[in-house]
Structure 1
Amino acid sequence: MTIVAAALLLSGCAPGPVESREVAEVRGVAPGLALPPPGAVHDYQLGGAYPPAAEVTAVTRDSTAQPAPGAHNVCYVNGFQSQPQDRELWLSERRDLVLSGPDGEPVRDPGWPEELLLDTSTEQHRTRLAEILGESVSACADRGFDSVELDNLDSYSRSQELLTEEHNLAFAALLTDRAHRAGLAVAQKNAAELGSRGRDEAGFDFAITESCHRYEECADYAATYGGGVLDIEYAEDLRGTFDEVCADPATPESTTLRDRELVGPDDPAHVFEHC
């Protein structure tokens, strides 16, 4: 909890992250875990941390950043693929935990070729991976984040059929348990095709989606998480205007428009709007 939040609690006026604990209890989330406030104005800051606008009530930042005072803070962890800057570490010291294709070469994400897919196919691998990635999850809690986003849950769809939904859900359950024990709620990231399995089998508490309006998947997430869906749409993908996106009844109340590179407000390419 931030110093600002502690001060507000003492004065009897709690900010969104504390108030949202009541919402968590209504949704059946474990007591003591905070969800993003209903209808959160969410800023997705993975391109670099910067002071959020006054109306922002939820912020996602990388696990190496500090949380933003006075908001619900979501900590980004690449749970199922390697980060580009750690590629050589995985290849030199953890090669057996990197998924290998039929040719023996590491399997890469086609859209992000510097990211290697982690091999969640065996219980032994999942246990070891959970120890490694669990350190990042615990670091999020130590830094004062309220929840964690585990990215690339859908790596099985890019695995040349070497990984399955079951493999990744089993691994997600290990990381979610680690996060819950550290006091963090956990967001399912994408993978609409899982339906309610992410909640029921992995223990996810809410969802963060990319382009659920563009791909007509928003209703699928809402069926599982109700209003607990934070959607990010990208300006480069819009077919029409963002006003039309927000006017669609299927669009989550908490929907944010960002630029694809997620740059800061000092960059001319910066885009930040919200429904």
Structure 2
Amino acid sequence: MRRTRRSTFAPPARTAFAAGALLLALTALVGCSSAGTDAAPASTKDAGEVSADASPAVEVVRPPAGAQPDYQLGGAYEPAAGVGIVGRDREAEPAEGRYSICYVNGFQTQPNERQLWDPELLVTVDGEPLVDPDWPDEILLDTSTAEKRDRILALVEPWIRGCAAAGFDAVEFDNLDSFTRSEGLLDIDGNLALASAFVAVAHDAGLAAGQKNAAEHAPLLRDEAGFDFAVVEECAAYSECGDYTAVYGDALIDIEYTDNLPRAWSEICDDPETPRSVVLRDRALTVAGDPEHVAAHC
């Protein structure tokens, strides 16, 4: 189970990428809108095809604006009474009565799940798998070709649909920025094409799709891949909150961490740049009752 990640981009630097990314083509209308209408399921066969419209073909429900969030990747527990949004790992159950977001690591292997992946789908350097320097038990997935993206999608799609079957309202996809750690072997286009395929599956399953971090690419990820909202870490600490709100408005959930606050929590709460939905968590995301547990709201 993955824990946490801060944005890997240095906040002062802003790099613009051309929107030449490949997108998934939807070959049929997707089914089961929240209004209850029936339609044929969308095709998710090729994660490298082009789509002219990234808008969801079903009506998905975005997180409630301004609701208090809790981020529980370290283990599920009963949220506090005022919490309206809960993020949990895909192997956990959604939080009953709360808007629930399912965590999926879509661009790197999860700890203890390397055996699920064909070695051909892992990025290698000199014959050795390329690991995330911040998370040495995670290996980068190879998004460099349409064929490999299709094979990655074939493994991840059941996880996404499993989130919907379990009763989650949305799904977030972590490590969209894996190409920045790939030693030049991956690029934004390959990751954007795969992200587009993930979003199409999520929408087909009736789930809203959340961008995870990657502030610089928020406009591209929303407009081209079709993300509906964002889950971000430490946007206040790294002065990135405005980059996200400019794209997603109040459809934004921020997690700050106790070990990296640039100023007092009360000052962050008073800052108009801070998203309305924000939580202060301990870095290990411990469960309630643990001596290190912190889950504070403004």
TM over 0.5: yes
Q: Which residue of 1 aligns with 2:186?
A: 163
User: Judging changes above 3 Å, is the alpha-carbon distance between structure 1 residues 116 and 220 closer, same or farther for their aligned structure 2 residues?
Assistant: same
Match of 2:120 among 67, 75, 96: 96
Match of 2:280 among 254, 257, 265: 257
Q: Which residue of 1 aligns with 2:90?
A: 63
CA distance in 2, matches of 1:131, 1:218: 34
- 1:184 pairs with 2:211: no
- 1:243 pairs with 2:270: no
- 1:225 pairs with 2:248: yes
Q: TM-score, normalised by structure 2?
A: 0.80
Give 1:87 deviation, angstroms.
2.1
CA distance in 1, matches of 2:244, 2:101: 18
Aligned length: 245
Q: TM-score, normalised by structure 1?
A: 0.87
User: Judging changes above 3 Å, is the alpha-carbon distance between structure 1 residues 87 and 39 closer, same or farther for their aligned structure 2 residues?
Assistant: same
CA distance in 1, matches of 2:240, 2:292: 27
Equivalent residues in 2 for 1:117-128, closer than 5 Å:
117-128=140-151
Equivalent residues in 2 for 1:97-176, closer than 5 Å:
97-101=121-125, 103-176=126-199
Per-residue CA deviations over 1:3-30 (Å, capped at 9, x if unaligned) read xxxxxxxxxxxxxxx9xxxxxxxxx765
Letter of the aligned partner of 1:49 in structure 2? A
CA distance in 2, matches of 1:118, 1:195: 21
CA distance in 2, matches of 1:220, 1:74: 22
Runs of 5+ consecutive residues of structure 1 not aligned to the other structure? 1-17, 19-27
Q: Which residue of 2 aligns with 1:196?
A: 219
Supply the RMSD in Å over aligned alpha carbons: 1.2
SS at match of 1:195: helix
Give 1:240 deviation, angstroms.
2.3
Letter of the aligned partner of 1:180 in structure 2? H
- 1:33 pairs with 2:57: no
SS at match of 2:179: helix
Letter of the aligned partner of 2:274 in structure 1? T
SS at match of 1:130: helix
Letter of the aligned partner of 1:160 in structure 2? E
Percentage of pairs with the same residue: 52
Give 1:156 deviation, angstroms.
0.8
User: Judging changes above 3 Å, is the alpha-carbon distance between structure 1 residues 140 and 195 closer, same or farther for their aligned structure 2 residues?
Assistant: closer
Give 1:31 deviation, angstroms.
4.6
> Where in structure 1 do 4 or more consecutive aligned residues deviate above 6 Å?
none
More relative contact order in 1 or in 2 (CA 8 Å, sep 6+)? Answer: 2
Give 1:32 deviation, angstroms.
2.7
Give 1:246 deviation, angstroms.
1.1
Whichever structure has more helix as a proportion of its residues is 1
SS at match of 1:70: coil
CA distance in 2, matches of 1:161, 1:219: 29
Give 1:165 deviation, angstroms.
1.1
SS at match of 2:296: strand
CA distance in 1, matches of 2:166, 2:58: 21
SS at match of 2:113: helix
User: Judging changes above 3 Å, is the alpha-carbon distance between structure 1 residues 232 and 130 closer, same or farther for their aligned structure 2 residues?
Assistant: same
SS at match of 1:49: coil
Per-residue CA deviations over 1:162-189 (Å, capped at 9, x if unaligned) read 1111111100000110110000000000
Per-residue CA deviations over 1:96-149 (Å, capped at 9, x if unaligned) read 001112x12111000000000000010000111011011110100010000000
CA distance in 2, matches of 1:240, 1:173: 37
CA distance in 2, matches of 1:182, 1:131: 15
Per-residue CA deviations over 1:29-76 (Å, capped at 9, x if unaligned) read 655311110101100000000000000001000001111111100000
SS at match of 1:43: strand
Contact 2:58 2:204 in 1 (8 A): no
CA distance in 2, matches of 1:130, 1:260: 30
SS at match of 2:128: coil
CA distance in 2, matches of 1:195, 1:37: 20
- 1:48 pairs with 2:72: no
